[in-house]
Structure 1
């Protein structure tokens, strides 16, 4: 890795981080993300492969218009690494600003495999997110352990599908938060999707949970964006901004329309009494091990001669 290219990318990422701190959300266009991820170790071949990783997703456990997998990772700041965590069920409650028919239900998703976690583009995305949120002060969520140096990142690989019989909803729950500290959403691709589909709306925390995207209070609307190009990425301080999305619609209504995303939910480990407390292990995954190095934000390191992180599928 060329140190000059890496250091230039780190400086640019710190500019993005400063915008995130100031505005509490930031949208990065895909072309810029491609360039930054390549500087962080993403290979051209893996950038092409990640576009297709959603083609073999299984059915979602609760939503008929979605296919999904997930996996858990730990950002270990003390050891400057991220590693794959063992499988755990998933739960998200109304108390966390998520109101839907499956709120509070324990859901079991199939696990993402090495085709995704050992992809250098995915690993660079993990590095990128760690650089953006590390050290950022946010409003604290109840029953999260902010004294713990570890961060848990639950990664979802999702495909939303609209058919002539069924409308695909990227956020059936309407206005919501994701029960975490930092949410990052990255676009992988779409097929037969209209140009006005899947718009993301950001709302003041006073907006009522479960309100449909088109029924919200315009006075509480803080912004909007749309993922339309490969690797378009949005990062949001999740406990300071709610969000909603419009549906996926088809250009040719006779054929399915699809939208493929990676969603990175990152929060502190939970405390007793939290709905996810039984499902919050920090043990590494024995069957699907993975670990990568994490550089620190600029204020914690000397950029010149620092070198790139160890991205590239190092299993341990």
Structure 2
């Protein structure tokens, strides 16, 4: 558990943390990931359909309720997805309802995915956030929207992991986990972390260097970046190919985690906590996620 505690402490201190894939394997194994499922999750992105609005991307998503009162994570019914300019997300499809294909059992029943959900719960548990307007911080749990994304660059078209430029994701905590790539240049797809004073939607290379708070690059299997989303903005450079004559791909899992919305929030009509009827999934939050040395359980601590 010391590794998990160290990661959580760094996240709280720096308001972001980058965890190397090798450390993630150790952390996820502690949280119940099976050895055989690591190989299986590497290839789950090969079965993604086209994205609803971006021509260079393939995607699926799924919604989960992190219920800290009953110590359980469960799959929720599908809902449209919306991000607005008011949430620091400025793009051609800001404010528009997007309907994604749903993640399947091949991903949601993979023990690595379940461990990633538990990992995020542990790291964000007990943290004090800069509260977003329109979210209900009186509620004990969170809504987590998971995206499985493949960005694609091919001759004549460059894939953009973050076409929106400098942005936030409208949530409390964002986590981005790398599954793999093909033909990705060594300097491609770098993530830059920006002060909240940075202008929304400008390109990564247009940002004020004085407002850059860090950078990271997902290169190794399960490399993971987490940020306090309402305290740090971020941007990502394009997916450049190693061989420009061949297709390049970059596969990610993105976890958006926030408190439920209140009436008037743009996503309030799409914030159901009804369980998924045809693809149910539930994960118990184990007692091993109790705060070490405090005697307090995950369910009982203020979140």
SS at match of 2:225: strand
Supply the distance in 2 between the matched residues of 1:302 and 1:54 (Cα, whole angstroms): 40
Indicate if the aligned counterparts of 1:14 and 1:297 stay in contact, CA closer than 8 A.
no
- Of residues 98, 107, 121, the one that matches 2:98 is 107
- Deviations, residues 112-136 of structure 1 (Å, cap 9, x unaligned): 0000000000000000000000110
| Residue in 1 that maps onto 2:121 | 130
TM-aligned CA distance change 1:254 to 1:107, over 3 Å:
same
Supply the distance in 2 between the matched residues of 1:39 and 1:238 (Cα, whole angstroms): 26
| Residue in 1 that maps onto 2:249 | 258
Supply the distance in 1 between the matched residues of 2:180 and 2:55 (Cα, whole angstroms): 20
| Residue in 2 that maps onto 1:176 | 167
- Deviations, residues 174-224 of structure 1 (Å, cap 9, x unaligned): 000000000000000000000000000000000000010000000101000
Supply the distance in 2 between the matched residues of 1:81 and 1:90 (Cα, whole angstroms): 23
| Residue in 2 that maps onto 1:5 | none
- Of residues 52, 60, 77, the one that matches 1:86 is 77
- Of residues 134, 140, 146, the one that matches 2:131 is 140
Deviation at 1:299, TM superposition (A): 5.0
| Residue in 2 that maps onto 1:233 | 224
* Number of matched pairs: 295
Indicate if the aligned counterparts of 1:193 and 1:248 stay in contact, CA closer than 8 A.
yes
| Residue in 2 that maps onto 1:119 | 110
Deviation at 1:11, TM superposition (A): 2.4
- Deviations, residues 81-118 of structure 1 (Å, cap 9, x unaligned): 10001110000000000000000000000000000000
Deviation at 1:300, TM superposition (A): 8.2
| Residue in 2 that maps onto 1:220 | 211
SS at match of 2:9: helix
Indicate if the aligned counterparts of 1:189 and 1:261 stay in contact, CA closer than 8 A.
yes
Indicate if the aligned counterparts of 1:192 and 1:257 stay in contact, CA closer than 8 A.
yes
RMSD of aligned alpha carbons? 1.3
Deviation at 1:293, TM superposition (A): 1.0
- Deviations, residues 215-265 of structure 1 (Å, cap 9, x unaligned): 000010100000000000001000000000000011111111000000000
SS at match of 1:248: coil
1:286 aligns with 2:282: no
SS at match of 2:2: helix
Supply the distance in 2 between the matched residues of 1:288 and 1:165 (Cα, whole angstroms): 38
Supply the distance in 2 between the matched residues of 1:213 and 1:70 (Cα, whole angstroms): 26
Segments of 4+ in structure 1 off by > 3 A?
A: 299-303
Structure 2 unaligned blocks of 5 or more: 298-303
| Residue in 1 that maps onto 2:301 | none
Supply the distance in 1 between the matched residues of 2:285 and 2:173 (Cα, whole angstroms): 17
TM-score with structure 2 setting the length: 0.95
| Residue in 1 that maps onto 2:43 | 52
Indicate if the aligned counterparts of 1:69 and 1:110 stay in contact, CA closer than 8 A.
yes
1:166 aligns with 2:171: no
Deviation at 1:57, TM superposition (A): 0.2
